[in-house]
Structure 1
Amino acid sequence: MADSQFMERLLKFANGALLASVMAVIATVVLAYPLAGSLPMPAQVGAHIGTLIFATTLKLSYVTRLVSLYSLGRPVH
């Protein structure tokens, strides 16, 4: 039972992290490419690095979501 509760909390956390990382990737891509001309070079570098970091968190949160869904016996899509 405790394992099921932990997986439910993990699923909620993974869903939230997935949403936050998608929003962060979108923001950093917009900063790194369309708005690059209006940003100083350090901000552009930070936006490119942020894109890599947030893409990694997106992948990790998605895998965490899949693991928790599988552990709860729910369909994994």
Structure 2
Amino acid sequence: MIGAHMSENLRFMEALLRFANSALAVSVVAVVATVILAYPLADSLPMAAQIGAHIATLIFATTLKLSYVTRLVSLHRLGRPVH
């Protein structure tokens, strides 16, 4: 009974780690894209798009941080090195 629960928990942590890694990759790309839109390309965008790019930068930066922390927790729970 306890062994099955441990195995289920490990499977969940592995799935969570995969999700966190994917979310981290998507978040990095999204932050880079929104920063490029918000700053170097700002002159070619309407004001509403500039505002949206700035807001999106904040949202994706938060997503990046949350996915990184989730990754660290998953690695720790799986007994893997946390770098």
TM-score normalised by the chain length of structure 2: 0.93
The number of equivalent residue pairs is 77
Q: Structure 2 CA distance, aligned partners of 1:5 and 1:48?
A: 37
1:29 corresponds to: 35
Give 1:75's aligned amino acid: P
Question: 1:17 corresponds to which residue?
Answer: 23
Aligned partner of 2:82 in structure 1 is: 76
Of all paired residues, the percent bearing the same amino acid is 75
- Give structure 2 stretches of 5+ with no counterpart: 1-6
Displacement of 1:35 after TM fit? 0.1
Unmatched 5+ stretches in structure 1:
none
Instruction: Point out 4+ residue stretches in structure 1 off by more than 4 angstroms.
Output: none
What SS is found at the alignment partner of 2:68? helix
Q: CA RMSD in A?
A: 0.2
Distance 1:19 1:11 in 2: 12
Normalising by structure 1, report the TM-score.
1.00
